[in-house]
Structure 1
Amino acid sequence: MDLFVRESGPVDAPAIVFLHGGLMSGWTWAPVVERLPRYRCLVPDLPQYGKSVDLGPFEMARAADAVAELIRTRTSTGRAHVVGFSLGAQVGLQLLATQPQTVDRAVFTSTFVNTMPAVHLARRLAGLFARTTVFRWALISRYWDAHDAAQNEGYRRDARLNSGRQFAHIAVASAGFTVPLGLEKAFAPALFVTGDKELRLLRRWAAVLTRSMPNAVDRLAAGMGHNWPLRNPDLFSHVVDAWLTQTALPAEIGPASPQQPVGDYAGSRTGRPAAR
């Protein structure tokens, strides 16, 4: 599957693949990418989104396979760092579970994982609610500044694509996402960051995912809401760079619980060396 991809940065630099959230396409990563000029940045539009809209329908496994193909064909090593936000974080986790050899290190934020026993019911409800205007408005208001959105053609284009039955299909895929089989064998160091103003459930899900991986840690971003990578690109880009270079995270990023040491960057619970 040949995803539409925005590319920037030195060809021989370490590569980062940025995976966008569920109500937007890859162009929204531009403020973060421009703050990371020393990396090779690859920013795809996922299937059924943006300029990859004709590659739908969106399915989590197909999207992860497409990202793996992108990494194999657009990098010299066949590996890349992966950064995922919301739906993009789910795709990144699916990639780690099924094709971990393609990922060096990962940063995931605002990651939803269904831990309820009635997964099928959650999927059905998500599909029904997603068709309603009120539900879409509530979700969009968490991502977008209304003034900026009114001036942005990219937003208007994505909003048109994320409507009705199309959006319902994506909502079902996201709402039904559970901890993927194979994640326990993904040894890439992974950082899960949740804004401390997000729903508490997201913190619990980050903790579940952290426990599901050998080399993962979860952190809280002080004062941040769900859309903080978009509204705070300075902080988010600093987090990404620090995690990838294994240096100190910004002061705004603290432990998710009092028991966690802030310096536990590589996730060394298993004793296995962290990937470089």
Structure 2
Amino acid sequence: MDEVVRIGGRRVKVRRNGCGPAVVLLNGVLMRLSTWEPLVEHLDGFECIRVTMPGLMDSGGAQPLVTMRGFSSMTLDLLDRLGIERADVLGLSFGGMVAQQLAFDAPERVRRLVLVSTSCGLGAVPSNPMSWWNALLEDAWESSPLLGPLWLTRQWGVTLRREFGASWERGLWIDGVGQQFAAASMWSSLPWLPALAQPTLVIAGTADALVPAENAGILASRIPDARLHRVRGGGHLCLLDRVAEVGPVIADFLRASERTALDQAVELR
């Protein structure tokens, strides 16, 4: 079920599916809620709550500048509005940064973390700056019936053309893109990663040009209860391109952690 929730005057698009423990899915910069569909199919037994941060795609509309802590606060307010006390949080790319901040700001609200194709922000291994610029240009060029299909098919493949290219038709809010890049450029989780107590799964494609795979190693080595899964040959969108591999890894992690929590509860009785 889709719904629009206003948080602090900002419009946030949310989609809820399934029953069971809540899993919050935080979008990357150019993602739509529908992008998660292949993964959701692997998360049977969970309530999947897809969230688009304000200013982009399904949530639309330019917004005043928000810091990473502001995005975390808005996500907490959203959980309150939806009546969710605790949730697993999965963040892809920029959404992974918000997920880290959320787990630090409100550890009692976050059961487990899944961080995909993301980094610690400042202090991370940088990508080639042209990779980000090319991603935006290629998305814009998808609006051209002549250049878009040729360029995107050659350079980025079917998945990027389908997910990012289609999002241009829905309205790419340039202010929102800039806002999220600005928030990421002024933020770092590096000093407090060791304070994150949640069981954490870190996933990275070894061929990610936007967020180099070395950043996954930084996260996994500094978060105390973290494990790392590398997708051989996977790119920034390995969660989509390789969902047949990545989906079961995420589902097994969440279910195994759930069983461990239940076993511990029984032992305490």
Instruction: Report the TM-score, using the length of structure 2 for normalisation.
Output: 0.73
The aligned residue for residue 18 of structure 1 is 25
- Residue pairs, 1:158-169, within 5 angstroms: 158=171, 160-161=172-173, 163=174, 165-169=175-179
Task: Decide whether the 8 Å contact of 2:24 with 2:49 is kept in 1.
Answer: yes
Task: Decide whether the 8 Å contact of 2:90 with 2:99 is kept in 1.
Answer: yes
- Residue pairs, 1:1-276, within 5 angstroms: 1=7, 3-10=12-19, 13-54=20-61, 56-57=63-64, 58-76=66-84, 78-116=85-123, 134=134, 136-137=136-137, 142=156, 145=159, 148=162, 152=166, 154-158=167-171, 160-161=172-173, 163=174, 165-179=175-189, 182-199=192-209, 202-246=212-256
Runs of at least 5 residues in structure 2 that lack an aligned partner in the other structure: 1-6, 141-151, 261-269
Q: Which amino acid aligns with 2:114?
A: V
| Structure 1 residues 16 and 146, CA gap change in structure 2 (3 angstroms) | closer
1:8 Cα offset (Å): 0.7
Mapped partners of 1:186, 1:227: distance in 2: 25
The range that moved more, 207-216 or 87-96, is 207-216
Task: Decide whether the 8 Å contact of 1:72 with 1:102 is kept in 2.
Answer: no
The structure richer in helix per residue is: 2
| Structure 1 residues 149 and 226, CA gap change in structure 2 (3 angstroms) | closer
1:180 Cα offset (Å): 5.5
Mapped partners of 1:90, 1:25: distance in 2: 17
Mapped partners of 2:46, 2:75: distance in 1: 18
Task: Decide whether the 8 Å contact of 2:26 with 2:50 is kept in 1.
Answer: yes
Q: Which amino acid aligns with 1:156?
A: E
Runs of at least 5 residues in structure 1 that lack an aligned partner in the other structure: 248-265, 267-276
| Residues 14-56 of structure 1: per-residue CA shift (max 9 Å, x gap) | 1100011112232211221133232101001112123323473
Secondary structure class of the residue paired with 1:192: strand
Mapped partners of 2:30, 2:214: distance in 1: 23
Mapped partners of 1:56, 1:150: distance in 2: 21
Q: How many residues align?
A: 234
| Residues 139-189 of structure 1: per-residue CA shift (max 9 Å, x gap) | 78558636535984x45225x22x3x4433322222333126543322110
| Residues 88-136 of structure 1: per-residue CA shift (max 9 Å, x gap) | 101101111111111111111111333449xxxx9xx97x997x6x561
Percent identity between the aligned chains? 23
Q: Which amino acid aligns with 1:60?
A: M
Mapped partners of 1:227, 1:26: distance in 2: 15
| Residues 44-75 of structure 1: per-residue CA shift (max 9 Å, x gap) | 11121233234734432121112222233435
The range that moved more, 84-93 or 172-181, is 172-181
